[in-house]
Chain A
Amino acid sequence: MPASKYKNGEQRMIGVIGDEDTCTGFLLAGVGDKNPKKGLGPNFFVVEKMTKQADIEEGFRSLVSRDDIAVILICQHIANDIRYLIDEQTAIASKSALPCILEIPSKQIAYDGSKDPVLSKLRQFLGEK
């Protein structure tokens, strides 16, 4: 995955990978891109119950490799499905800190703090130190 070099003062969009309710909410708030640049798709990806695993992975990869997205919001239950891709991305985060991948709770499924890698690491640090 190419590293996105960021500049001071640059403005970037937010990407969303979520179920229908989550995407609805964020699109309502104005996250959607009205003029997507040539070749790049929309900056959000709706995942339903029947969406194939391969499609989810493809959607994630395409959002992550874009250099005009600063944050990717992803519903936790979807994140669990593509956990290995997210771990890969955070492993090379030393080269490109952005886009930042943030896991958010979805409407139906309760948030599980132990599955979120950042949160569990935080708990570890704060518990010991």
Chain B
Amino acid sequence: MSAQQRYPVLPSRMSLIAMKTRLKGAQKGHSLLKKKADALMMQHRKIMRELYNAKIEVIEEMKNSHFAVTGAIFAAGDISFSIQESMKIEPYKASIEVHNVAGVSIPTLLPESGDSSVDNIISGIGKGGAEIKDARLKFRDTLGTLVNIAALQTQWVVLDEAMKVTNRRVNALEKV
């Protein structure tokens, strides 16, 4: 603290007590903020590892799914009819859940639960029907995996942003 920056204070015992209370309050605020930053960082790190592994894995899964579709086209010839049938069911929906982590509200995505509607799509018993059904299910599973990855990604990005802001505040308190 430089000699110029001084609080204009009446040198009495009461103001001493008041100053001490203020100091305690400021320290408590600072430590709470640090705790928040640490909690955010912990979550951030945890998600990071999961997200990274999941992203690497899904590449392989997508390859397999594409392969299944190619197999279906090979077996059935033209699958545009199947695609039109697929359009008739309700579109795939992901549910949004909002969680609270250290005061930051973070959205989570959940893949669709209970997809009995997929089994009801008529794949036909003609040539390729089984392959089409297989390809459809494979892609459906991949979709679930991708939704999970998207959920992790949003969480990670939101946490990243929140961490930056909180760290800025902590640093402002510490350095200035």
Which residues of A come within 8 Å of B, CB atoms? Answer: 6-14, 21-22, 24-34, 43, 70-71, 73, 90, 93-94, 97-98, 100, 102, 104-105, 107, 111, 116, 118-119, 122-123, 125-126, 129
* A-side contacts of B135, CB under 8 Å: 25, 28
Beta-carbon nearest neighbor of B165 in chain A: A94
* B91 and A31 contact, CB distance less than 8 A: yes
**B59 at interface (Cβ–Cβ under 8 A)?**
yes
In the assembled complex, 19 residue pairs joining A and B whose CB atoms fall closer than 8 Å, in A order, are: A10-B95, A13-B94, A14-B92, A14-B147, A26-B139, A30-B90, A31-B91, A32-B86, A34-B90, A70-B109, A71-B146, A94-B158, A98-B107, A102-B146, A104-B146, A105-B62, A111-B59, A118-B51, A126-B52
* A13 and B93 contact, CB distance less than 8 A: yes
- Chain B interface secondary structure, helix, strand, loop or mixed? helix
Q: What is the CA–CA distance of A51 and B79 in the complex, to the nearest angstrom?
A: 23
Given A9-B97, A93-B157, A30 contacting B146 (CB threshold 8 A): no
Contact of A30 among B45, B89, B98 (CB under 8 A): B89
- Say how far A15's CB is from chain B's closest CB, in angstroms: 10
- Say how far A120's CB is from chain B's closest CB, in angstroms: 11
- Say how far A25's CB is from chain B's closest CB, in angstroms: 5
* A9 and B95 contact, CB distance less than 8 A: yes
Q: A94-B158, A97-B106, A100-B153 are in contact. List 20 more A-B contacts (CB 8 A).
A: A7-B98, A13-B93, A22-B66, A24-B69, A26-B139, A28-B83, A28-B139, A29-B86, A29-B92, A70-B94, A71-B94, A71-B147, A97-B157, A98-B96, A98-B154, A100-B109, A104-B58, A118-B51, A119-B52, A122-B55
Q: What is the CA–CA distance of A28 and B79 in the complex, to the nearest angstrom?
A: 9
- Chain A interface secondary structure, helix, strand, loop or mixed? mixed
Contact of B91 among A22, A33, A104, A118 (CB under 8 A): A33
Q: What is the CA–CA distance of A1 and B174 in the complex, to the nearest angstrom?
A: 37
**B136 at interface (Cβ–Cβ under 8 A)?**
yes
**B33 at interface (Cβ–Cβ under 8 A)?**
no
